[in-house]
């Protein structure tokens, strides 16, 4: 008698998992963190595609301990914000490249908006390796600053930076980093946030002859390098990004200059 | 030394692999990337007159040995596309894929291309009459009849001097007759073909269809037998060359489609299974197979299964 009952005819290469939400935490007036009961085995810098049936699927950075931290800004994020502890959430991932800590001893992380999510995850890993971490958290105004206390608890030096000066440094993140660099030196700048900010930080790193790593955001749909919506020059961010070395990013002519909308049309940054 | 070069209408290809439409081809940069990865010709994402947002995500979901997709012809429209794909410098032919609801729309598209700047150079246009999952187009609009096919081909032919490729789906009935209608109306080549279906995948935890559009076209290895049979049928009814597209991941798969009658091979989903350099890999595997089987040119195997 043959026993074929356990044979799988084809293995899945891009599975969708369904997890349960273990906890929901309000970070501020429009940002919530969702923790899953499922171990994603993700590395800092990776992302997942979250799916809410009947609403859609969106790319989200994976935060520390299987979390997603999401701003309520539109259709999908609003639907996500309605989910509660115990609700189901389906996802594909982890996807994409990761931040590399190499042999650095002293690093600086610069996050704008929800860009602090993967950096906080990175900070946790770096601190556990006794790397000295400085975190610059940039936002438009004081109430948009998130994760400040969490970074401090890890033992990081934290500088908040707001455009209007309502908290911490007054000005943009690049100026904040420059001010820190007057008295400190770092071996690498890690950054995730608005592309103009990242672009100028990469240039700053070059000027100071230190390394940099950036997390580039593009319009991501399929997540597997097929549909082409996330193109930056000849590269597809969804598979060979999000994280690139600053040097590599600078070789993309479009980096810091233009992006693409949901139709694939070029948009100047 | 095995010769891998093939001719397709007036297009000269260094090897038989072509990037299929809708696969990474949203920008000129990605098309250049495919050429760097070994594609001998590249096809753009299908372009309509007006911009189209396409279907809600998820637009792709895996199934056994393949994927379902329902992109819904997301594209920036013909004006932006002409700007995007202008100044094509590579020697690999650029094929512009066009999607219209009927011969009037196709005629407008052809007119826009004809009146574009001189630096907009394309080697061929591909007319898609076969999408299985977009309302108003292809299979969902009954565009896959010999009459509709002939009308559309004639409309474009009367406006544009470039070779016309017509793309069908194995899901259409009587593909031989469709191809014949395209040939008689003046098409230079047939692409067989598009995805099949539509199909549906339900996530049993959520108890809901996964795709945003609920249903989508099946691509990848699972569809290959249907592609092979459809190419075999078409080869018996037309003299113009056939691009075989559907389920090719390895050199041996490409050889199989060519034996059925294809002169060149479109590659899509395998970009995921084997990486962005899948074109180079497949061309190399074909070369090895041909060499060890005593062939000196890939052209010798076209249609062999019919002999
Ligand atoms: C790699 C990556 C990581 C991300 N990580 C986070 C995160 O950690 N936290 C967070 O709050 N948000 C994150 N986003 C943004 C998120 O994916 C959604 O774009 C956002 O939640 C808005 O979606 P919506 O449906 O709520 O709003 P909508 O009204 O649909 O869109 C609002 C804006 O979001 C942009 N957008 C919509 N869909 C996409 C898409 N598929 N890819 C890229 N941009 C899109 C559009 O430019 C649109 O203008 C990330 C995006 C990317 C690409
Ligand atoms: C995500 C995706 C988008 C596609 N978009 C188009 C399109 O815009 N126009 C078109 O003619 N075919 C489109 N196709 C069909 C492919 O060009 C190809 O015919 C089909 O996927 C079968 O080949 P494959 O098995 O090698 O993927 C698309 C396929 C996929 C998977």
Per-residue pLDDT reduced to its tens digit, B106-151: 999 999 999 998 899 999 999 999 888 899 998 888 889 999 999 9
Please state, rounded to an integer, the average pLDDT across all residues of chain A: 95
Q: Look at residue B118 in the predicted model and tell me its pLDDT.
A: 87
CA A196 to chain centre: 16
Task: Please check the confidence at residue A6 and state whether its pLDDT lies above 80.
Answer: no
CA distance linking residue B237 with residue B253, whole number of Å: 23
pTM: 0.96
Contacts for A127 with CB less than 8 Å, ≥ 6 apart: A133, A154, A155, A156
Q: How far is the CA of B152 from the centre of ligand 2 (A)?
A: 21
Task: Please check the confidence at residue A3 and state whether its pLDDT lies above 60.
Answer: no
Asked if B160 and B145 count as a contact pair (C-beta separation under 8 A), the reply is no
Per-residue pLDDT reduced to its tens digit, B61-107: 999 999 999 999 999 999 999 999 999 999 999 999 999 999 999 99
Question: B145-170 burial, b for 16+ CB within 10 Å, e for fewer?
Answer: bbebbbbbbbbbbebbebbbbbbbbb
Of B16, B17, B21, B166, the one to substitute when testing ligand 2's pocket (max ligand atoms within 8 A of C-beta) is B21
Among the ranges given (A3-7, A68-72, B45-49, B230-234), the one the predictor scored with the smallest mean pLDDT: A3-7
Does B69 sit in the ligand 2 pocket, CB within 6 Å? yes
Token pair of B43 as six digits: 């096809």
Query: Which helix H or strand E contains A173, and what residues bound it?
Result: helix A173-181
Per-residue pLDDT reduced to its tens digit, A174-208: 999 999 999 999 999 999 999 999 999 999 999 99
CA distance linking residue B158 with residue B138, whole number of Å: 22
- Smallest CA-to-CA distance from A145 within A126, A174, A169 is with A169
- Respond yes or no: is residue B131 known to be catalytic: yes
Task: Please check the confidence at residue A7 and state whether its pLDDT lies above 70.
Answer: no
Which residues on chain A place their C-beta less than 8 Å from a C-beta of chain B? 9-10, 12-16, 18, 49, 51, 53-58, 88, 90, 221-222, 224-229, 231-236, 239, 254, 260, 262-266
Q: Look at residue A5 in the predicted model and tell me its pLDDT.
A: 56
| Average pLDDT over every residue of B165-171 | 96
Terminal alpha carbon distance of chain B: 25
Does residue B225 have a cis peptide bond before it, meaning omega lies within 30 degrees of 0?
Answer: no
Q: Look at residue A2 in the predicted model and tell me its pLDDT.
A: 46
Token pair of B74 as six digits: 């997301």
Q: Look at residue A8 in the predicted model and tell me its pLDDT.
A: 59
């Amino acid at each position: 008698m043959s026993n074929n009952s356990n044979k799988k005819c084809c293995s899945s290469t891009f599975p969708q998992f369904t997890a349960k939400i273990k906890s929901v935490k309000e970070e501020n007036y429009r940002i919530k963190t969702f923790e899953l009961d499922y171990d994603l085995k993700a590395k800092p810098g990776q992302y997942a595609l979250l799916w809410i049936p009947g609403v859609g699927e969106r790319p989200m950075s994976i935060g520390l301990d299987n979390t997603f931290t999401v701003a309520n800004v539109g259709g999908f994020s609003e639907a996500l914000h309605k989910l509660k502890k115990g609700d189901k959430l389906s996802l594909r991932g982890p996807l994409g490249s990761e931040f590399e800590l190499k042999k650095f001893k002293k690093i600086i992380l610069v996050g704008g908006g929800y860009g602090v999510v993967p950096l906080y995850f990175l900070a946790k890993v770096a601190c556990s390796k006794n790397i000295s971490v400085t975190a610059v958290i940039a936002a438009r105004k004081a109430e948009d600053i998130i994760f400040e206390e969490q970074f401090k608890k890890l033992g990081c030096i934290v500088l908040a930076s707001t455009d209007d000066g309502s908290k911490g440094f007054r000005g943009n993140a690049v100026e904040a980093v420059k001010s820190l660099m007057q008295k400190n030196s770092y071996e690498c700048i890690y950054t995730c946030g608005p592309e103009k900010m990242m672009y100028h930080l990469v240039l700053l790193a070059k000027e100071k002859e230190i390394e940099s790593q950036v997390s580039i955001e593009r319009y991501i749909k399929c997540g597997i390098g097929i549909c082409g919506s996330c193109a930056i020059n000849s590269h597809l961010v969804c598979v060979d990004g999000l994280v690139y070395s600053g040097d590599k990013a600078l070789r993309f002519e479009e980096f810091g200059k233009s992006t693409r909308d949901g139709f694939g049309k070029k948009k100047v940054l | 030394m095995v010769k891998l070069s093939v001719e397709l209408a007036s297009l000269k290809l260094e090897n038989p692999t072509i990037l299929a439409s809708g696969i990474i081809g949203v920008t000129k940069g990605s098309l250049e990337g495919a050429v760097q990865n070994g594609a001998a010709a590249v096809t753009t994402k299908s372009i309509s007159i007006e911009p189209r947002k396409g279907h809600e995500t998820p637009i792709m979901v895996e199934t056994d040995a393949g994927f379902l997709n329902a992109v819904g012809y997301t594209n920036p429209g013909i004006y932006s596309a002409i700007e995007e794909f202008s100044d094509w410098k590579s020697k690999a032919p650029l094929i512009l894929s066009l999607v219209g609801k009927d011969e009037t729309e196709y005629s407008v598209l052809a007119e826009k291309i004809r009146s574009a700047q001189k630096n907009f150079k394309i080697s061929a246009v591909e007319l898609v009459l076969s999408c299985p999952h977009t309302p108003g187009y292809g299979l969902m609009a009954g565009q896959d009849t010999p009459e509709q096919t002939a009308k559309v081909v004639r409309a474009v032919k009367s406006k544009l001097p470039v070779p016309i490729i017509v793309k069908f789906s194995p899901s259409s009935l009587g593909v031989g007759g469709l191809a014949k209608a395209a040939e008689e109306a003046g098409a230079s080549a047939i692409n067989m073909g598009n995805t099949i279906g539509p199909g549906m995948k339900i996530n049993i935890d959520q108890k809901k269809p996964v795709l945003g559009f609920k249903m989508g076209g099946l691509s990848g290895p699972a569809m290959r037998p249907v592609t092979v049979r459809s190419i075999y049928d078409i080869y018996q009814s037309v003299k113009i060359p056939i691009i075989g597209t559907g389920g090719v991941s390895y050199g041996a798969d490409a050889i199989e489609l060519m034996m059925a009658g294809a002169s060149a091979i479109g590659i899509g989903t395998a970009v995921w299974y084997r990486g962005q350099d899948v074109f180079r890999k497949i061309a190399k595997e074909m070369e090895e197979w041909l060499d060890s089987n005593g062939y000196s040119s890939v052209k010798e195997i076209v249609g062999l299964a019919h002999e």
